[in-house]
Structures are given as structure tokens and as C-alpha cells.
Amino acid sequence: MTDAAIETVDPKAVRRASLVRLATGLAQGLLLYGLYEAGERKAWPAIHPMLFAAIGLAVLYAPFVVLAGASSLRLRTLAVWKLGAVIVAAGLSAYDIWVATYYRHAGDYTRILPDPPVFCAIAAVLFIGHHLVQPADMERRPIARFATYFDVTWKHGVQLVLSLLFTGAFWLLLFLAAQLFKLIGIDAIQRLIEQEFFSFPATTVVFAAAVQLTDVRANLVRGVRTVSLTLLAWLLPLMALIAGGFLASLPFTGLAPLWATKAAAALLLVAAAFLIVLTNAAYQDGSERPAAVLAWAARAAGLLLAPITALAAYAVWLRVTQYGLTPERVIAAACVVVAAGYAIGYATAALRRGAWMKSLETTNIAMAFVAVGLLLALFSPVADPRRLSVGDQVRRLERGAVKAEAFDFLFLRFDSARFGREALDRLKANADPVVARRAREAGAMKERPYLRDPKPEPAARPPRITYYPKGEVPPKGFAEAMRSMGSDSNCLQAGATCEARLVDVTGDGAPEVLMTNRWALEVFSQSPTDGWRKIGVYTTPCEGFDFTAAVREGALEATVPAVRDLAGPSGTLRFLPELKTCPPKIEPVQKP
């Protein structure tokens, strides 16, 4: 169904879809809460990591198939596709847990949830897969028209964003309500929203309701989509200009600065992705030719995509031939394959005569299938990047392409899961004694050491204290006592700069050490039993009192307090003056 189609809304179908979506959201929330509690209590199925991951990801993702297809897919297609979603989510997540766990290494942490890339991969597979299934089911043929793919995919993309925003706004309102009621002493709402038995079902039901609300207002969703794509489309000329300028500069700069970034392939692939997305924003469903500027920019982007993808492929090939495969390079190579497919198709569309960029449609549909296949291969045993990387790196070691001293045994131990640790076990029996020894050392490690020796911390600079009058020296034993008092004094900490003067402030005939860092005046006194210690600090309520000048000039004199302390049966009562008298502040006279 395209934008131009006239939609008829069946009230019974709307009610049926509403009930299905709300029931699905409620069931998903309750199941997620049950899994959360099992994980917290370490109860079944959390005691079986692979099973827990499989159930958890299936419960998380499979309901989205129902939410997206409840009003469009036939019941049989929906059931089969939901089963497929469960198999994909459960299989990929269970496989990730299996790969990450190698029970022959005691003490290794066993995860119960997959790594974040697995979450993203499952979401991508199901999103792309759903938008290959639903249009085909709507038109009752294996491959639908491109206009239907475009309409359904972008409609659901906008629905997803709007539903997430609606769910976020729902929670913001709940938090606002909780704070408002707390102002009048009612914290029931705060306690409620902090409970998982409420937060899980509430989130999923509200999200399901948002999907239903946006689904019955499909024309409004398409309006938002059209505005968004139009705005994106007008970025295409700028992107084409950037890509063209970059490629035109290469003959003058050479490739060395590009390789020096050590991220050339990633940056080039990001540029290719922008060209692809913005070209599609300009083309949309192909029913209308855009403005001439956008039309020519789309053709230019289709041609520029090829050299940018070729440079990305060359960058990946250089790193692989020099240093072998790593998981990142395997994923980069897969991205290059996808980008190359788009580059060939878009260049053909740009050069072919006839309807403007028409063959772009075939390219988009074909590359959607390729992307799903690559994602499934990369996150399954078929082409697991860790397995491929371990095999390649070990072969390089065994044929002498890399010496044992330069080989990254830590990659096998910590970065390649089961495959790397199994390879370490095999290398422990290697005929080369250096390889065997280093494999045993790496296998025995429980945590990754520093990749390089950390730089030694610079020696702490001792405090610098100047005694006044000039030439005065600290009392006997004070310098030695400073080392144990450093944490109790601002002036005795490493790197401090202070001024000091000897003044008898206790009246016992022996001078105390008065020391200032400009903000207060610390007092150190010597006791026959405890030795030197800090006994207190002088402060002032008056602004602008210069402690440093007072110490330097010796303008300090012990005085008898106007109000003495009181001795009581439970200790001494200290007098704290209520009135704080300060000298008048003299403002500087401004010259006329």
C-alpha cells in the first residue's frame, strides 16, 4: 500500500489489532519481569546460561514481530515468521554464550546474557527480515514491488521512533508525578515506579499502545516520514561535494596521510553509508523525480560510492595481508561486501539510460537479503569473526609469518573466547619451546596484564615551608614529625607552599608553630607525651584578612580572651562569639 492508496479502516480489525498488541505487550512485560527475578535470585532458568540467554532474547524480540505485523500479516504468515524470529533470537544468543564459555578454565566468568553486538545484530536481522516478509505477504508474491518495501519499511521506522519517544514521555510524566506527590508527603508513586513488577509490564504495554496509536494514524506517520526524508535529501548535494572534494584531493596528498589515521577503512565505510542513505532519501519510492539539483547529486553519489568503497576495500586488504585477520577486520570485510554491492548497483543506476536511477530499486532489495545473510553468518558458527581470526593468526604463527616473541597470545586468551583458548591449549604442546612456553603463560593468566609497563609515578614534591623572620628554623623534632602529620594539615601535604612563624599562644613558655596557606592559620604544639601535633586552627569572619602578611610581618600577638571558657562536670564549654566585629572596609579612592 503506497502513499497514494486510499485506506479503509475496519473498526473490528482495529479492535482486534489493539487487543492483540496490548495482550502481547502485557505478556512480554510479565515474562521479562519473571526472567529478571530469576536472574536476581539465581533460579531456573538463570542457572543455565545458554537457556536463559535463548529465552531472554526470544522474549525480548519476538513480540516486536507481532506488534509490527498484527494488522497487516496473515495469521499463518505471522505465526511462521514469529517462530522464525524466536529461532533467530534464541539461536544467536545461545551460540554467543556457548562461545564465551570455556569450562576447562576454572574461574572464568560465565555470562547469562549475550554481548551488546549480538543484541544489535538480532535487532537488525529481525527489522530487515520483517520488511522483506510483510510486503511480500501483502502482495502475495515472493518479491514485492519496491514502492511497497519503501512504504512499509519507512513507516515502521518512523513508528518505532515515535513509540520510543512516547514511552520515554510516559516515564517522564511518572517521575514528575512522583516528585510532585513527594512535595506533599506522599511517596506511593515513587515506591511503585521503583518496583520491577510494575516497570517491566508498564513499559511494554505503553510501547504496544504507542504502536497501535501510530498504526491507525498511518497517514500522519507517512507525513512525518516525508518531511524527514525531504530534509535528509537536501543534505545529499553537500555529501556529494564532500566526497568529490576528498577524492579529488587524493592525487595531491597521496594515500599516506589516510593510512596514518589507522581508521581509514572505518571512516570510508561511514562515508559510503551516508551516501547510500542520503541517495535513498532523495529517491524515496521512485514515483516522483526530485528537483534537478537532487537528481544530479544522486547520480554523482552513485558514481562516487564506487571509488570510496574501493579505497575501503584496499585499506582492509592491506591490514589483513600485513597483520592477519582480527574480528574487527572480518566485520569490516563484511561491510565492504555490502558497500560494494551498493556501489556496483548505484553506479549502474547512475549511468543507465531510461527512468531515473530505476535499477537502484533492485539493488536495495538484493542487498537487504545479502545483509541478512551476512549478519546471520557473522553471528553464528558459519563465519564467526573470532573463529576465523584465531585460525588465521595461528596459521601465521605456525608458518613463521610472525615470530613467537611478537605473536599476540593475549588475543587468544582474552579476546577470542572459546576458539582462542582452545588454540592456546593446542599451542602448549607445540614443537617450538618458545611458543609452548608463552602459550602456557598466557593460558594461566586470570586477567589481562598491562599492554606496556605503566610509567612510574613522579616522586611527590615535599611541602615547601618558609619560616619568618628570615633565617628562623623549625623547632627540634618538628621536621621529623611532619611526615606523620601530612594528612592532618593542608600545609604538610606534598607540594604545599606555606609560611610559618614561632609564637607562644598557649602561655607555657614554649613557642608553637603557626603555619598558613593564605586561607587559615594552623597551630602545632609539642606535648611531653604526644610530641608534635596539630592542636587547632585560627580563622576569621572578616573578609580580606591576610594571613600570609601577618605571618611574614610578625603582626601576631597572643591575647587573653575577653570571655573565658567554662569547665563543667562533663568537659570544657568553648565560647563562640555571636557578634563578629570586623574593621571597616576601606574602599580605594578613584582618581578623577
449 within domain boundaries: no
Q: SS3 sequence, 374-395?
A: HHHHHCCCCCCHHHHHHHHHHH
Same domain? 264 vs 374: yes
pLDDT value of position 592: 43
Domain co-membership, 200 together with 344: no
- Is residue 333 in some structural domain? yes
Q: Per-residue pLDDT for 7 more than 90?
A: no
Distance CA 35, CA 93 (A): 15
- Kindly tell me if the per-residue pLDDT of 487 is higher than 80: no
- pLDDT value at position 51? 95
Q: Give the largest Cα separation in the chain, rounded.
A: 108
**Which domain, by its residues, includes 281?**
234-378
Residues 52 and 84 in one domain: yes
357 and 394 housed in the same domain: no
Q: Which of 132, 84, 202, 104 is nearest to 426 (CA)?
A: 104
* Structural element, H or E, at residue 532: strand 531-538
Q: Which residues contact 138 (CB under 8 A, 6 or more apart)?
A: 1, 72, 144, 148, 152
E strands present in 330-453? none
Do 422 and 312 sit in the same domain of this protein? Answer: no
Domain assignment present for residue 519? The answer is: yes
Task: Residue 426: name the closest of 415, 416, 412 by CA.
Answer: 412
Q: Using one digit for the tens of pLDDT, what is the confidence trace for 301-347?
A: 999 999 999 999 999 999 999 999 999 999 999 999 999 999 999 99
Rounded-to-integer distance, Cα 36 and Cα 547, Å = 60
Residue pair 151/114 in contact (Cβ under 8 Å)? The answer is no
Residue 58 lies in a domain: yes
C-alpha cell at position 438: 608463552
Q: What is the mean pLDDT of residues 201-212?
A: 97
Q: Is residue 566 part of a domain?
A: no
- Among 352, 378, 404, give the residue marking a domain's end: 378
67 and 204 share one domain: yes
532 and 419 in a common domain: no
260 in a structural domain: yes
Predicted confidence (pLDDT) at residue 5 exceeds the cutoff of 50: no
Within 13 Å, how many C-alpha atoms sit on residue 490's CB side? 16
**pLDDT value for 233:** 96
For the residues of 42-58, what is the DSSP string, one character each?
Answer: T-TTTTSHHHHHHHHHH
pLDDT digits (tens, 9 = 90+) for 314-323: 999 999 999 9
Specify whether 187 is located in the same domain as 252: no
Query: Strands, DSSP E only, in 460-530?
Result: 464-468, 497-503, 512-516, 521-527
* End-of-domain residue from the set 225, 251, 266: 225
- The last residue of one of the domains, among 361, 378, 395, is 378
In this structure, is residue 288 part of a structural domain? yes
Same-domain pairing of 27 and 70: yes
Q: Does residue 23 sit in the same domain as residue 127?
A: yes
One-letter identity of residue 145: R
| 452 domain residue, yes or no | no
Using one digit for the tens of pLDDT, what is the confidence trace for 213-233? 999 888 888 899 999 999 999
Residues 176 and 68 reside in one and the same domain = yes
The model's pTM = 0.75
Query: Which amino acid is it at 122?
Result: I
Instruction: Please give the tally of structural domains in the chain.
Output: 4
- What the block records as the C-alpha cell of 108 is 572464568
Q: Are residues 217 and 258 in the same domain?
A: no
Q: How would you classify the pairing of strands 531-538 and 566-568?
A: unpaired
For residue 574, give the C-alpha cell: 568553648
Q: If DSSP codes are grouped into helix, strand and coil, which group holds residue 475?
A: coil
